[in-house]
Structure 1
Amino acid sequence: MTKFLLAHDIGTTGNKATLYDQDGNLIAKTFFAYATYFPKVGWAEQNPEDWWKAVCVSTKKLIDQASIAPAQIASISFSAQMQGVVSVDENGQPLRHAMIWADMRAEQQANQLSETIGFAEIYNITGHRISSSYSGAKMVWLKEHQPDIYKQTYKHLHAKDYLIYKLTGRFGTDYSDASGMNLLDIRSKQWSSAILEAWEIDEAKLPELYPSSHVLGEVTSQAAKETGLTQGTPVVMGGGDGSCAALGAGIIEDGDIFNYIGSSSWIALSSNKPVLDPEMKTFNFIHLDETKYLPCGTMQAAGASYQWVRDQFYQDAKLAENQSIYDLMNEEAAGSIPGANKLLYLPYLLGERSPWWNPQAKGAFIGINIKHTRGDLARAALEGITMNLRVILEAFRNAGQTVEEMWLFGGGAKSALWRQILADVYGVQIKVPKLLDETTSMGAAIAGGVGVGLLKDFTVAKSWVDQQATHAPNKSNQAIYDNMFNIFKRSYEQLVPIYKELHD
């Protein structure tokens, strides 16, 4: 009987559920949307019960789409949004809405830890800068502002951990998700006693730690009724979405590197040890292969910047038959020249994380003149996003990382023009797979297959990635972009005091 791997990718906007066979072929996929709530400025919450509904509906739909028997599913595993907090009682019942990664209410609690332990020491212990976006600060906010809920909490979970409990009745988390909490000693892979003591967090309220390929339990009779799965089907931990995306991209050996471009964008690589940047531009997760690390840098407004250009300058554009708005944008951007006729774009519409870690940063077009066209603006946006990502890449190069080729995933990889700009700005060969949007679910599925023994080990990820295209850097364009890159960095640095004055 043919066996299949079911993976749920619990994202910010909804659940992307996918079904793979053991050779990595995508058999079926579906999407179920849910809401995000913003009770106050800086707060972002979701209802965990919405996630569970998404899993139940999506699972039944996949089984129906693929026309398979539920018993053919060898494992269920998860990729999910990281850095949130789902506080549940002893029966796994949520005590409030989950605070998700985008919730920034705990800035005071983050600052308190920084003052107690020190910014650099926190980075050294956890592999991350201290931030209110991480789970630890959110837990402390809960303890201080909603003490009754904190006292009732049996475990603080992540999104996938809550869903695994719903399926199995067992609590736990994996190393990759735990590494995005500002609570884990990234080298020992244990909760940091120094941080827990400084924040006065009860360790008993944290879940047990497991590898991403660990089978935490089996589908219960109740969960089987709600999802359409077979009782007893193994449930494998999986991991945080960033780490799952890396494995799904075939990033497994030391030095393998990839770039994901969606609304936000990140560059990440597989490493046998954490990479700690002296300027703390980058950070570190634990890989789904728990013997490895995932040094990473994430910028805020990548595809979001191009969407902004679309909305502001192409609203009334006339399209040819079968032409999308992005086709037109790319066509006009291609009609410009490298350097966009000396027009520079700083992509800081949402402040910035990596590489500058400046929430006050603002977007800008620099050098605009009366001869610039809409196509120049579009091209400058693509180039500016790419130059910002190059700052992240340079941090890895300065740490001794040699980069000659890089995999590219996400919606941004659909543009042949952007792929060439990336190759030219980075000075590396860009490799593009056939499946651009399934990396996170694919990584989770591989973890599930390894967990139940259907796949031999994580290295099968290499054979699951099917290359579609390659883009080599153009030497003459590289020279233009090297010059523009230096101007780009200086422009940001000189505008920092202006950003501060403009900040609300």
Structure 2
Amino acid sequence: MKAMVIDDDLNVIHETNVKFDDDLPEFGTQNGVHVQSDKITVTTPVLLWVKAMDLLLERLKAANLDLSKLKSLSGSGQQHGSVYWKEGASQTLKNMPADHSLHQILQSSFSVTESPIWMDSSTTEECRQLEKCVGGAQKLADITGSRAYERFTGNQIAKITKKNPDEYKKTERISLVSSFTASLFLGNYAAIDYSDGSGMNLMDIRAHEWSQQCLDACGPDLKGKLGVPLPSHSILGSISPYFVKRFGFNPECKVIAFTGDNPASLAGMRLQQGDIAVSLGTSDTVFLWIQDPKPTLQGHVFCNPVDSDAYVALICFKNGSLTRERIRDERASSSWDEFAKALKATSPGNNGNIGFYFDVMEITPAAIGVHRFNDRNLKVSNFSEETEIRAVIEGQMLAKRSYAEKLGYKVCGAHLLSSSHLYLT
């Protein structure tokens, strides 16, 4: 959990963080999570997040920051994680005593103590059921922007209603990680924002409201437990008196709707219509600003956090930097300088040679293995060092373009950089 204080010009005044495993070892997490015995159920204790917030705010206070100068606050949380507030928790939030920590106040406020998170993949059965209820995977994508995915919150809710019905019955409100964190500061249940809410398999992304058909497939009386979604830039209200008294916040400090980490990346990159951002990490992620989305069975379409009339498409590729590093090690003596030289020595198009490199099972497409084709479209077992190096780069980038265009993004050929902006991070 991280906090950053900035001024009007976006200069960083102060930043601090809490490392879950190191700073809060009593929760017994590894990388902030609990992997259950089945290896596919992955959760985080919700009280870990609460106690981390206590510690984070204490560290801000200890840094002698004048928190009374803060005009507003907002944030982002991991997409797809969910928090289940127990009946009566709203009154607890509204009446938090300033002489107690958040952890002390809220320790009995959650009907589900282990929050399902984005790493969970235990809801395959619920995914297939949801798709069946709405008329198929493509129909669900047309409504919600994505086919059914195991980590998406609607399917996690459906699992809880089936396997832990008493916990669901006792649930007063369901938050995403983002709106849960905003709720702490607001002292009341914070609305789920359009953008993070569109990663739940529950929202009609064009109407900006919950799809009753999807709600009915996932849980009884679910609409009331989710609240009414709002634009991602909405002012939710002033900060809770608890934070004014305990930490010295300005009582006029406004709480702006929190959103998911992926939508926040688009906002943080300051993307505009026509822009594309490519994050080159362990997994490569493509962010696209789209006006007229065409949801498919690959990738995701979310509501845009900056412009509620626009959309953001996201495509994730599992074979990213680790695959590039393997080719670097094998074909360029583990040197990026040698890798760059080899890339410059070959021409765009690679003389008709093309390669697809899936060291692990890919997300889009669902494929594995190395597949090389020469200029006659014949599969070959090997390339020269220089050809291999260009092939891994061009193959990855062509895949990104192909899936982006399927989702509705328009690339303007050779004029890409003059007509739209490409950001590599």
Q: Does 2:82 match 1:85? A: yes
CA distance in 2, matches of 1:57, 1:228: 15
CA distance in 2, matches of 1:368, 1:204: 58
- Note if contact 2:294-2:406 (Cα within 8 Å) is conserved in structure 1: no
Q: Runs of 5+ in structure 1 lacking a partner?
A: 1-14, 318-327, 408-426, 437-504
SS of 2:14 mapped into structure 1: strand
CA distance in 1, matches of 2:319, 2:237: 39
Q: Which residue of 1 aligns with 2:308?
A: 290
1:155 corresponds to which letter in structure 2? Answer: R
Q: Does 2:114 match 1:97? A: yes
1:247 Cα offset (Å): 1.6
Q: Which residue of 2 aligns with 1:240?
A: 260
| Equivalent residue in structure 1 for 2:406, among 386, 391, 395 | 395
Change (3 A) 1:110 1:286: same
CA distance in 2, matches of 1:363, 1:88: 44
| Equivalent residue in structure 2 for 1:47, among 45, 48, 53 | 45
| Equivalent residue in structure 1 for 2:278, among 254, 259, 276 | 259
Q: Does 2:193 match 1:174? A: yes
Q: How many residues are matched? A: 375
- Note if contact 1:174-1:209 (Cα within 8 Å) is conserved in structure 2: yes
CA distance in 1, matches of 2:421, 2:202: 37
Q: Which residue of 1 aligns with 2:15?
A: 29
Q: Which residue of 2 aligns with 1:446?
A: none
TM-score (norm 2): 0.77
2:127 corresponds to which letter in structure 1? Answer: A
CA distance in 1, matches of 2:325, 2:218: 40
- Note if contact 1:300-1:348 (Cα within 8 Å) is conserved in structure 2: no
- Note if contact 1:300-1:353 (Cα within 8 Å) is conserved in structure 2: yes
1:140 corresponds to which letter in structure 2? Answer: A
CA distance in 1, matches of 2:79, 2:371: 33
CA distance in 2, matches of 1:47, 1:379: 45
Q: Which residue of 2 aligns with 1:208?
A: 228
Change (3 A) 1:334 1:131: same
Q: Which residue of 2 aligns with 1:16?
A: 2
Matches within 5 A, 1:61-460: 61-62=59-60, 68-90=65-87, 91=89, 93-94=109-110, 95-117=112-134, 118-171=136-189, 172-202=191-221, 203-224=223-244, 229-252=249-272, 254-273=273-292, 275-277=293-295, 279-288=296-305, 289-306=307-324, 329-337=335-343, 338=346, 339=350, 344-347=355-358, 349=360, 351-354=361-364, 356=365, 358=366, 361-364=367-370, 366=372, 367=380, 369=382, 381-396=392-407, 400=410, 402=412, 404-405=415-416, 430-431=422-423
1:242 corresponds to which letter in structure 2? Answer: N
- Note if contact 2:354-2:394 (Cα within 8 Å) is conserved in structure 1: no
- Note if contact 1:59-1:228 (Cα within 8 Å) is conserved in structure 2: no
1:348 Cα offset (Å): 5.1
CA distance in 2, matches of 1:378, 1:49: 47
1:77 Cα offset (Å): 0.4
SS of 1:388 mapped into structure 2: helix
Q: Deviations over 1:281-302 (max 9, x none)?
A: 3331011132221123222232
CA distance in 1, matches of 2:248, 2:351: 54
- Note if contact 2:80-2:118 (Cα within 8 Å) is conserved in structure 1: yes
Fraction of identical pairs, as percent: 23
- Note if contact 1:84-1:100 (Cα within 8 Å) is conserved in structure 2: yes
1:387 corresponds to which letter in structure 2? Answer: L
Change (3 A) 1:84 1:431: closer
SS of 2:41 mapped into structure 1: coil
- Note if contact 2:277-2:423 (Cα within 8 Å) is conserved in structure 1: no
1:123 Cα offset (Å): 1.3
Q: Deviations over 1:5-30 (max 9, x none)?
A: xxxxxxxxxx2322221122233333
- Note if contact 1:333-1:379 (Cα within 8 Å) is conserved in structure 2: no
CA distance in 1, matches of 2:387, 2:335: 10
1:259 corresponds to which letter in structure 2? Answer: V
1:283 corresponds to which letter in structure 2? Answer: H
1:257 Cα offset (Å): 2.4
1:212 Cα offset (Å): 1.6
Q: Deviations over 1:108-139 (max 9, x none)?
A: 01101212222222111112112222110110
2:160 corresponds to which letter in structure 1? Answer: L
2:363 corresponds to which letter in structure 1? Answer: R
CA distance in 1, matches of 2:351, 2:242: 59
CA distance in 1, matches of 2:362, 2:9: 39
Change (3 A) 1:246 1:82: same
1:343 Cα offset (Å): 7.8
Change (3 A) 1:28 1:136: same
CA distance in 2, matches of 1:52, 1:406: 44
Change (3 A) 1:340 1:300: farther
1:178 Cα offset (Å): 0.9
Change (3 A) 1:212 1:223: same
Change (3 A) 1:70 1:329: same
Q: Which residue of 2 aligns with 1:57?
A: 55
2:357 corresponds to which letter in structure 1? Answer: L
1:163 corresponds to which letter in structure 2? Answer: T
- Note if contact 1:56-1:227 (Cα within 8 Å) is conserved in structure 2: no
SS of 1:209 mapped into structure 2: coil
1:103 Cα offset (Å): 0.8
Q: Which residue of 1 aligns with 2:99?
A: none
